Amino acid sequence: MAKAKKISSTGGSAGEVDLNPKVFEFEPKNYQVHQYIKSFLRNQRQGTHSTKNRREVRGGGAKPWRQKGTGRARAGSNTSPIWVGGGRAFGPKPKNYNRAIPRAIKRQALYSAFADKASDDRIMVIEDIQMEKPRTKSVVEFLAGLDLYGKKVLILNEGENRNFEMSCRNIPGVNYMRARLINAYHLLNSEYLLITEAALKEIEEVFAK
């Protein structure tokens, strides 16, 4: 059975924790991970880019000059794409980039990401941290004690812990998320995963069904 180091709220070792094999010992499926990551990144795009073509820009009602006799190149409209201030040829228009994928692929990609972290011993379970007020320095010292400061760390917590969340917000490389919102992209985009005990319980209850 996969195991993870357990860390006390002060940063000391507190033994090991057994991880649910259905979630953390899943055989990685690279194709499903690839499909999910592509879909996730596409869905982050706004798709509001827009330019005006030669029909939409202002002007173009009259021929700039007569066809012959001026010595200049022929021109029929000042909205031509080759003119400064003219329309854009084949420019971008608003587009919906969203791409839906089956729930099963999302779940397999998530299991694969969890299993990847577990197999490399990059998961640590920490005791639930309660802070009276936001204090970034405390979290920095906690991470430094684990030799994680300066590395890409994803912290998962259960429910709302506003003080802890705000303490993590301004630390480079640290990403704080609620356990129910976890996805394969953020897991794979981090080097280490820190999970509170409550978050681990929630993950195993929700995703091990």
Domains of the chain: 3-45+97-207 (3.40.1370.10), 48-96 (no CATH)
Q: pLDDT over 90 for what percent of the chain?
A: 80
pLDDT computed for residue 38 by the predictor: 97
pLDDT single digits (tens) 8-43: 888 888 888 999 999 999 999 999 999 999 999 999
Cβ neighbours around 95 below 10 Å, total: 12
* Token duo for residue 112: 């694969």
The answer to whether the pTM exceeds 0.85 is: no
Q: At what angle do helices 30-43 and 103-119 cross, to 10 degrees?
A: 110
pLDDT single digits (tens) 126-151: 987 888 899 999 999 999 999 999 99
